[in-house]
Structure 1
Amino acid sequence: MRQPLGLGDPRQIGAFRLEGRLGQGGTGTVFLGRSRSGRAVAVKVIAPHLARDEGFRRRFAEELNVLGRASGTGLPETVSADPAADQPWVASLYVPGASLAEAVRTYGPLPANSVRVLGTGLAGALAALHGAGLVHTVLQPHKVVLASEGPRLTPFAAARAFVAADPSRTVSAADGRFLTPEQARGHYAGPESDVFALAGLLVFAATGRPPFRNGPGAETLRSIVEDPPDLGAVPEPLRSTIAAALAKDPEQRPGPEVLVGRLAPTTPNATAWLPPPLAAQAAAPAGRYWSRRRTLLLAVGGTAVFASAGTAAVLLSGSGDGSGGKQKQNGTRAPGSVGLTPSVTLGLGKSQHSNRIAYSPDGKRLAVTLQDRVTVWDAVTNRRLSDLTDEQILTTTAVAYGRGGLLALGYNRKFDLSDPNTDQGGITVWDTSASTAERVAQLKSPSENHPLQGMMAVAFSPDGRLVAGARNAKDAIGKAQVWDVRSGQRVADLLVGKGKGNTSSAARSLAFSPDGHVLAVGWGVNLEGGATLFRTGDWQQVAEMPLKNTDAFGVTALAFTPDGSTLVGAFGGLALWDVSGRRLTARFGTADDQNQTLAVSPDGRSVALGGGGYAVRGEIALYDLHTRKQKVTVPSGRSATSDLAFRPDGRILAGAVTTSKMVSAVQLWTVE
């Protein structure tokens, strides 16, 4: 509830007389204020430690400036602000009404017509926000006010500036029930992400629960990425509209303008859109309903709620920090130690896709996946040479180069709705040694009376004779499938964790040892993972090396050191296994770090680890494999790094990133 002003609290901020304290959090304190004309405002006064941070001040001013260009019903209305004051502040119009979270918690789900008005109003607000070049990215029930005139988004400038000033901060998995699949994977969140989040809010409003499994944080994220939404309690025709907006593929989601038309209420009466108890609360003047409205006021002021929720909006056109482009800094490192200097950025265009990259063994070519194809680049001149694809490809999932110019592309196939148990993935192999690439193999599996997902990783044996793919399995955690490239014959189906799988488990990574005698398979199930080793001579399992407390996807990347003695894995953090001893020897970081890709340097001295979870900009950490210490950390882009690869000469590290202008790119760093 509202508390009186403390002895050290200000009595006046700008032109506003302060009447009470509404809440306090990581970014500052929120006060109830009055203008000279008596209008009620929520005044956010920035915390002293952030006021001393010039980076925060600059970001705060930028956010306020950009938000000033966005106007429309449903958007927060900033009355006044002074980012240059000794204590920066922003005043927003005080809007009576419960938050959506509070309303559902207190009174239960909303009637269908109220849900329609809610969806129409929020979709219109998002359309205006996107038109101004902004994305909300954390649309959640406590950030929506049920006002008498319709729903209103709460302010978020201070929260965005807070995260930008502290890029290491991430969104907690506990706050992730309304994240999107792309955010759960730590990738770029664009306008389409807001549409997905809006659909989740409408499910919550209509049913009282989120659309995906509400378990432990990582389990919720896994459910968002892989499970269909639970829409059984959503009434038609709302259900079909919401289902379309909850498509896993961002490109398949309708835009907010389309949703405005589809969600239009059947009885459009703005004054009666809320049930009586909520309508009375929305009509209350400032100073009433303090105990019930504390959640709302914290959201309006962007204090404790914002401080825990991470980024609240992302600029569609950034200012260059962490862009993977022309960074002037070389990361944080000790004098005389190794460093990474940005050299070249290969632009790929705006994309929601999680790009994968691979160098050819001779270092002359670089393969990069796009949505439905793989592009081949000249790794010396950085010129794009060709695009390779098949008509059956829906989305690409993995890429690998092999000996003799062989290039393998793992993918999800276009769906066969008549038979959901058909194999939904495959591998296509091209010979790229000539000027014109020749397709040499199209590899897939027969039906197993079980839905098989796409290939989550692919790898060639050192001699290029075999190619392997990692995926899910029937009655097991996952499996690796191995084919003879030239004959196209499948030579092995290697099950991992037989009898221990579930709908979300899978083998997600694999690597052949340098001598080709061992195939390592990384897997994940129930927040645990590990690496299983198979002998390639007879395809017998020779070791299982489990790893507890991984992220929702388990071990998502694997690589051997050049001498084959150590196996390196990404599980959110970094794991090192002794191959001959079959045991874990070192573990860095935790699952919460959300690092899901890695690359071992050709000399075996270093491992680059990347990802970033929900950080505003991704980072790459370089570890020394001999001293087991971190060498350097550099920013890698606006969001998480989706893949890493060293050029075979070790002089270049390539990373698939999102730049500050929100476009996909491959950033090349010179290794010093």
Structure 2
Amino acid sequence: MREQLGAGDSRRAGPYRLVAALGRGGMGRVFLGRSRGGRLVAVKVVDAGLAGDEEFRRRFAQAAQEARRVGGFYTAQVVDADPDADPPWLASAYIPGPSLDEAVRAHGPLPYQAVRVLGSGLAEGLAAIHAARLVHGGLKPSNVILADDGPRITDFALARALDAAHPSMTVSAEHGAFLSPEAARGQHAGPESDIFSLAGVLVFAATGRGPFAGAVGAEVLHRIVNAEPDLTGVPEPLAGLLAACLAKSPEHRPGLDRLLEQLAPAGTQGPGWLPPPVATMVDEQRTVPAAGTMRRRAFLAGGVAAAAAAAVPVGIWLGSDSGSGSGDGKGAPGSGAKDGESAKGKPAAGPKLTPTETIDIGKTDASIHLAYSQDGKQLATGLKSSVTLWDSASRSKIATLTPKAEGLLAHCVAFGGDGLLALGYLKAPARDNDFQTGAGGVTVWDIASREEVAVLTAPALGSSLYPMQSLAFSPDGKTLAGARSGPPDSFGEVPLWDVRSGKRIEDLVVGAGKGNRYFAVRSVAFSPDGKILAAGYGGGLKGGVVLLDTSSWSPIATLPLDGTDAFGVTTVAFGPDGRTLAATFGGLALWDVAARKLTARIGTANDQIQSLAISPDGSVVAGAGGAGAVQGHIGLWDLASAKEIVSVPAGRSGVGDVVFHPDGRTLATAYTNAKMLSTVQLWAVG
């Protein structure tokens, strides 16, 4: 949606006057601009956090230079860029017209001749990209713009030219549906991969659905790799050509020359190639209202599509893999912390931790998982195959809830705001199968009745996925998000369910196309207003957080982080006002959510902090860990200054979950005691 510029928005980017806001991508914001001569352009302005990263600037300059090498009529041309500006920006030709996705969803499939025109134009555009020794790597209906004189390709992801950079780790439902088999497996994807994706886009144009429709997340990736495409409704001879393009082996797909030969329309392209309703959409979007009154839909660069109506900067989908991530990697202002060091200095004034009571769980060496109900009256402890509810005031046991299904191992617990409790589990492995395919799931109870009201599953369909390692209810209690990951050669996944109906909404695949454990996802959290879902990912000594727009489940930003422990980001949490995001990576990382900027990096991976909680008033963050160390520990830090307030030893060999009571005066921790047994320790905060 085109919007008026806000009070804090810049009015210029280099020589271009910015007249409206078009949207946001993972790298920054997109604006409608005018050149001195009155030419309209789409201007991508990089967020301040990334702009402060010198390594990012270097890659931005390289990507802009490469994108400007791409010629041809059927690509939205990059016309200008300044990687040295503050902040950096890039301008591309502004193309009036709806996206293919928007047009088909509004008016149905395109006629046969229009599909041929579309296909020949896209093939010619890809040829121009390949001639520049680039691979698009993400062709899909939302980054194809339908202009009155032919289609245009936008959003050249350039992932292959920028392998070292951090792209968004989450594969949207649309993007995943058009990946090639080699990309889905995490193998090298060359120009032949674009031919596979092009065929999928043309199937969508001809039928209104992709060739592997009816599946989401890991399921659609499984179909792409193993199943035959569904070409029902694709007219001949187009169906035979697209079937060849959708061959599983890259070497068996036809080249672009053959596609152009068979798709080239009999007449010339130009006005009249689109059906009248779509042509009307182009006409409506060609008119540019006066500045201050503009409202229109736009394609967001960086892989975020909001029903495109404008071309965006070509060839740019970047992040940073520098140690500073989205900020300077140092302590927050006034913290005096250096990069890679704890923000200690003079201890900040604040609360202390005093052990008060231990809840007797019994003799067990199993991990304990903790959650307080939102009213604070109950504490849930997930252990082995059940959840026990405790009265928070008397510390007495209320009830034990056991799933009806047998052989489940508890891995996380979460309360919903409407009296629900969820247990994330792994089905006990069979003797001949260490981790059963798709065995992780969720059991949901109504707390008042103690009745099991839902069993939520997300089959992995061919990819071994580990248990639900994290659960989060949306603030309105309607949606439940999970986090689970696979072995080193697999990927992570964020399954989403409608809680009451039990219907799976989406499976957001994290790391498809890369094929290594760097993309494992272990934690999820909703922002207090429910508009953002954060997913922590990582492995291999790097990781970060992906932010998702909950209205579309599309990625809106990636907050990269290097120098993590072997697990990457293990816990994420928003502050109560939604302005701050905290994450554990062995140390603690804090981001300004709106600016996408890393404001503090507390400690290093060697501190082994793997769980955290933010106090209900937002003043303090508690971090705990030490698993595998000689001594566990719990620390409190002032959230505003990132200064350490107090650190106390806790547990013989590490602390697991840590949660604040809703009143902020009690902190509950799960740890291993001197006898190597798991227990729950309560601490007075004050």
Q: With the length of structure 1 as denominator, give the TM-score of the two structures.
A: 0.49
Q: With the length of structure 2 as denominator, give the TM-score of the two structures.
A: 0.48
Higher relative contact order (CA 8 A, sep 6+): 2
